[in-house]
Structure 1
Amino acid sequence: MANVITVTALNRYVKTLLERDSVLTDVALRGEISNFTNHYKTGHFYFSLKDEQCSVKAVMFRRDAQNLAFMPQNGMRVIVRCRISLFERDGAFQVYVEDMFPDGIGAMQMAFEQLKEKLDKEGLFAPEHKKPLPAMPKCVGLVTSKTGAALQDILNVTQRRYPIARFLLYSVTVQGNEAAPEIANAITRLDKGGRVDVIIVARGGGSREDLWVFNNESIARAAFASSTPVVSAVGHEIDFSILDFVADLRAPTPSAAAELVMPDMEAELREIRRSYSNICKEIQNRLQLCYNRVRDIEAAPQLAAARSLPLGLLRELSEKADAARTAMHGKMDAAKGRVAHAAMLCGSLSPYSVLARGYSIARKAGSVLKSSADASEGDRVEVQLAAGRLGCRVETIITEEEL
């Protein structure tokens, strides 16, 4: 007879079998979403995945759901990365979703529009947040694959336009599940490092699925948070990503990004030569104007008349100038004497001059004592001298009659 077991034991045994199966611990599953429920209190997503014949229950816990760049909807075709297990309490076979991607153009476009609308409402696309690119970058940060064609395109254009440029490459994966966190981290690291003047995020062309990683919300937020200008150079001119809208500048291709970021050294040298030539011409013109003006002054009739003045008249003018100077000096000396006399008179009338001769001023409670009758024995008085003051006490009073 078969062993008798409990329902709990059965469910636990089946769950153990499922979770020990290495094939079922990491499955990519394609299906259409139905019965979708967003449990707002917990943040978990509950739904079913179905195809033409079957369906399976699915759950996506909050820690994974909050990282999605779009909101799942009924009827949306998706591909999920999940593990297979059993909800032990109900004996319900279900999939536990860890990541989700739109499947097909319609679903991808819906997810794209959802994230675009969300970030636009938050102001991540606002023009006032766009930072200008440096005219002459000393060092350019590159976020791309070290083996990709995008890197070579950028280097080739730079060698032609601005061969003295320096690069700091942060090599990343540009597609797949690991790409988004790598790219977001690269932007943040280059920005915080402070060694680059501008950051180019680049990838060559590919299918929409290949370029989908650049629609990731974490990359968009890293670019927006960067204080260093960010240039998006993903795919071809017809390809648009969320990063294109957040970046400070969108370049249609990696080569175009190099054209936009790097100045044309030959053009700059031509401009310098043209400016130098214009400066030389301007200096020459100004010198010619000065020369013409001096020549006109030399030819003026007033200067010719001055040169023809008789020597006697010139001598008379010189003597009168000397006399005027002498008279002016005499008046200045007389004025100085009057000022000195007035200063001496003021000094003699100053009370401080009297004190300097040995006299003093006695005060009682702030009032000047003019007579011995104004004070009494034992009073505290203050005596002001030419240098300093004395605090005294009246011991004896001698009246004017007793002197």
Structure 2
Amino acid sequence: MAEVITVSALNHYVKMLLDANDRLFDIALRGEIANFVQNARSGHCYFSLRDEASSVKAVMFRADARRLAFRPEEGMRVVVRCRATLYERDGAFQLYVNDMFPDGVGAAQLALEQLKAKLEQEGLFALEHKKPLPAFPKCIGVVTSKTGAALQDIRNVLTRRWPSVQLLLCPVTVQGFEAAQQVADAIRKLDQRKEVDEIIVARGGGSREDLWVFNAEVIARAAYRCKKPLISAIGHEIDYTILDFVADRRAPTPSAAAELAVPDREEQKRILLDLQQNIRKNMQNRLDLCYNGLEQYNFVLEQGPARQSWQKKHDLLQQAKDEIRQQMQTQQNDAELQLQHAAALAGSLNPYKVLARGYAMVTAANGAILDAEGLQPEKTIYVRSVSHRAKCRVEAVEEINENTQKF
């Protein structure tokens, strides 16, 4: 008799078998969506994938569902990337979907139109968000495959038009499941580099399916958040992707993107030569105007009336100059004479000049001149002449009046 086990043990055993199978861990599965439901609270998506004969339950968790570039709908044909396992609690065989892509032109176009309408409503295509390209960039960041022809086309154009520019490559895969996230990450990395002046996202020509990855929402939002000017160059002139609408400029080819990104060296040379010639012409015109004006003035001055008028004004000016000089000399002589009179008057009042005429003055020991009240008997005084001083003692002080005998 077989060993008796529990339902839980059976489900656990079957789940271990499925998880141990590498072929079931990462598979791409095509089918039609049925019974699609997205939980409003959790954001998880629950649905079934079916074909003509069978169906299988599937779940896509919120973190993966948020990266979808379209809105899944009932009956839509898709390709999913998933792993197959068992949900132990219910014993249900189901798929855990990591990514989902529309399958077929009709469904793909529907998804593209849905995403375009969503992003346009959010303002990602608005013209006011478009940044101008730098006139003379020093460093250009490029997001493309390092082995593709797009990179070589960009290099050739930059070398020809503006060889001094530096090219900084951030290599990515440009098709496949991982391409969208790689391109978005590359845009963010280059946007954070200070030396990068603008960014080119490029891919060479291919089928519509080859270019479809550049319709991914994650790339569109990375381009919208990019602070550096971004040029989209995907496929050929007739190819349009979501990135073209979000980018600041759209180029029909990678070569055209390189032409937009940098100026033309030869054209700049012609502009500089034209400026140089215009400057020389303007300078020569100004010199000619000045020369002609000078000649006109010389002609006027050489005429008789003009010379006589000038000579008359010159004579008047010289006469006024002579009169001013004469008045200044007269005023100076008067001032010198007044100064001499004042000096003579001041000299006559000098007490020491009085002494020179034979007079003397009586002073105290400190040199102060004594008047009659300062003379007292037995007081020592000094009699000062112009060149000597005599020390004397007062014996008596007598008052002199008209009746006093004079000697």
Regarding TM over 0.5, the answer is: yes
Aligned twin of 1:256:
256
Paired with 1:228 and 1:117, the residues of 2 have a C-alpha distance of 25
**1:272-297 deviation per Cα after TM superposition (whole angstroms, max 9, x unaligned):** 11121121112111111111111111
Aligned twin of 1:182:
182
Q: CA deviation at 1:2?
A: 2.4
- Counting only pairs closer than 5 Å after superposition, residues 292-303 of structure 1 correspond to structure 2 as 292-300=292-300
Paired with 1:161 and 1:191, the residues of 2 have a C-alpha distance of 24
Aligned twin of 1:196:
196
SS at match of 1:47: strand
User: Given the superposition, is the C-alpha separation of residues 288 and 76 from structure 1 closer, same or farther in structure 2, using an over 3 Å criterion?
Assistant: same
- Match status 1:19 vs 2:5: no
Q: CA deviation at 1:60?
A: 0.8
Q: CA deviation at 1:311?
A: 6.7
- Match status 1:307 vs 2:315: no
Q: CA deviation at 1:90?
A: 2.1
Aligned twin of 2:272:
272
- Match status 1:58 vs 2:58: yes
**Unaligned segments of structure 1, at least 5 residues:** 332-403
Q: CA deviation at 1:96?
A: 1.2
Paired with 1:326 and 1:186, the residues of 2 have a C-alpha distance of 93
User: Given the superposition, is the C-alpha separation of residues 216 and 297 from structure 1 closer, same or farther in structure 2, using an over 3 Å criterion?
Assistant: same
Bigger Cα Rg = 2
User: Given the superposition, is the C-alpha separation of residues 316 and 251 from structure 1 closer, same or farther in structure 2, using an over 3 Å criterion?
Assistant: closer
User: Given the superposition, is the C-alpha separation of residues 316 and 257 from structure 1 closer, same or farther in structure 2, using an over 3 Å criterion?
Assistant: closer
- Match status 1:170 vs 2:170: yes
User: Given the superposition, is the C-alpha separation of residues 300 and 97 from structure 1 closer, same or farther in structure 2, using an over 3 Å criterion?
Assistant: same
Aligned twin of 1:395:
none
- Give aligned-pair identity as a percent: 61
Contact kept? 1:297, 1:303, Cα under 8 Å: no
Paired with 2:197 and 2:285, the residues of 1 have a C-alpha distance of 41
**1:14-54 deviation per Cα after TM superposition (whole angstroms, max 9, x unaligned):** 22221211111111110010110011111110111011111
Aligned twin of 1:102:
102
SS at match of 1:299: helix
Paired with 2:53 and 2:326, the residues of 1 have a C-alpha distance of 125
- Match status 1:79 vs 2:82: no
Paired with 2:310 and 2:207, the residues of 1 have a C-alpha distance of 101
Q: CA deviation at 1:174?
A: 1.2
Say which is worse superposed, 205-214 or 243-252, in terms of deviation: 205-214
TM-score by length of 1: 0.77
Aligned twin of 1:377:
none
Paired with 1:326 and 1:33, the residues of 2 have a C-alpha distance of 120
Contact kept? 2:301, 2:307, Cα under 8 Å: no
User: Given the superposition, is the C-alpha separation of residues 10 and 272 from structure 1 closer, same or farther in structure 2, using an over 3 Å criterion?
Assistant: same
Paired with 2:149 and 2:299, the residues of 1 have a C-alpha distance of 75
User: Given the superposition, is the C-alpha separation of residues 288 and 46 from structure 1 closer, same or farther in structure 2, using an over 3 Å criterion?
Assistant: same
Aligned twin of 2:39:
39
Paired with 2:310 and 2:296, the residues of 1 have a C-alpha distance of 24
Contact kept? 2:300, 2:306, Cα under 8 Å: no
Paired with 1:107 and 1:175, the residues of 2 have a C-alpha distance of 19
User: Given the superposition, is the C-alpha separation of residues 243 and 330 from structure 1 closer, same or farther in structure 2, using an over 3 Å criterion?
Assistant: farther
Contact kept? 2:80, 2:101, Cα under 8 Å: yes
SS at match of 1:300: helix
